[in-house]
A and B are shown apart, each in its own frame.
Chain A
């Protein structure tokens, strides 16, 4: 009983001590809170042209192209008098280009060209437009664009680069003579820079590309499978010969056995396969030529094509080539 009372007194005094401590700390906590500076009710950050442009550039260099586009556009909108607006427009186009949106990149570069004439970035924009068209596999607009550049450019180095690029576009379509014609227009002083001597020597080998004549392939297909055989498709040739032979024989037997309905049906099917055999042989010849030409072009590019940086300020080309043995 006495022990219980003592415990009760002890717990009561502990409770009073805790309450006392609580009240003791209230003023301290308030005083600490009061020492804090009041938050600024109207925070403001001043964005200078430098800050905005550098931010956009940092996004661009970090490959965040979609955000970089927004920030470059913001820069152009808020600081239209800044000297770097043209650069920002070019970088906008580059962001679209590197982000894979080639169509919008073309529009963006075109906008720059419309506003700025014959500046470094405008000339680079011409080159990038043709690159974007090439990525879109639209060769004709790429050619037209480079021809426009040749007309407006005053700098001989720029014109030479345009001729060089045009030559390669024509080579891509296996238009060898057109390609040679544009390479020949490059000025004498830049002939070494573009390695034209080596290029023309390598181009001469174009005549050695093995080719199949599609007309001959089609003609040979009069004998089923012979056209495929000519195109070095030996298994296809055998199958075409067997299917067509079997169908012709079956149709003959049907007519001969007094079953013209079946014979007519088989003839009808055979006509499709016979025509397919001719069509396939002609296509096979075209495919063969395309493949061999593609291989030749790949080798030519690896051996003699110079990668152009489109950096006019640094005199146009960045020499980068290799030669395979």
Chain B
């Protein structure tokens, strides 16, 4: 838990640093409503590399224990893709605080690989902003 938590925090710091470096580029991209999301996909998502690294290498060894679906790392990636680094980081922090607690009683259960998880995608947490 500590490793996961620390790593995600580290990833987020790197992300925010990267976002400030790429600020000018993002300003142009956000002219389009889905600019950042498309951009993140097209650019090979450098903002998301730390999360991908965590998910593909560390989480595989550490064990997939996140009780939510999508998992926290995936959720953070989705949030950053959809809303950009700053809001994505804030949503990511919010999710880390909610993970596995009250949300398990409030979100709909889903079965993933025979295990019960709680469905809490980004769209469940940004619907009021649309």
Contact = CB atoms under 8 A, between A and B. Distances in A.
Interface of A: 214, 228, 233-236, 239-240, 243, 265, 268-269, 272-273, 275-277, 279-280, 282-283, 286-287, 290-291
A280 B94 CA distance: 5
B128 A235 contact: no
B113 interface: no
Given A235-B102, A286-B128, A291-B106, A272 B97 contact: no
A239 B89 contact: no
Contacts of A277: 93-94, 97
Given A235-B102, A236-B101, A276-B90, 12 more contacts: A233-B98, A234-B102, A239-B97, A265-B13, A272-B12, A273-B93, A275-B90, A276-B93, A277-B97, A282-B128, A286-B128, A287-B106
B62 to A, nearest CB: 20
Nearest to A233: B102
B13 A269 contact: yes
B97 A273 contact: yes
A286 B102 contact: no
B101 A239 contact: yes
Given A235-B101, A272-B12, A273-B97, A287 B89 contact: no
25 contacts: A233-B101, A233-B106, A235-B101, A235-B102, A236-B97, A236-B103, A239-B97, A265-B13, A268-B16, A269-B12, A272-B12, A272-B92, A273-B97, A275-B90, A276-B90, A276-B91, A276-B94, A276-B96, A279-B94, A280-B97, A280-B98, A283-B126, A286-B128, A287-B106, A287-B124
Nearest to B91: A279
Given A240-B97, A276-B93, A283 B125 contact: yes
Nearest to A247: B9
B127 interface: yes
Contacts of A228: 102
Contacts of B12: 269, 272
Nearest to A272: B93
A236 B89 CA distance: 18
A268 B19 CA distance: 14
B7 to A, nearest CB: 13
B93 A275 contact: yes
Interface string B1-42: 000000001001100100000000000000000000000000
A269 B9 contact: yes
Nearest to B103: A236
Contacts of B101: 233, 235-236, 239
Which residue, of A239, A240, A290, has the highest number of chain B Cβ atoms within 10 A? Answer: A239
A202 to B, nearest CB: 26
A140 to B, nearest CB: 14
Interface in B54-80: none
Interface in B81-130: 89-98, 101-103, 106, 124-128
B93 A283 contact: no
Contacts of A269: 9, 12-13
A265 B16 CA distance: 12
A287 B102 CA distance: 12
A233 B120 CA distance: 15
A268 B13 contact: yes
A221 to B, nearest CB: 11
The 5 closest A-B pairs by CB, nearest first: A276-B93, A280-B94, A276-B94, A235-B101, A286-B128
Given A236-B101, A240-B97, A277-B97, A272 B90 contact: yes
Given A234-B102, A269-B13, A283 B97 contact: no
A182 B94 CA distance: 41
A286 to B, nearest CB: 4
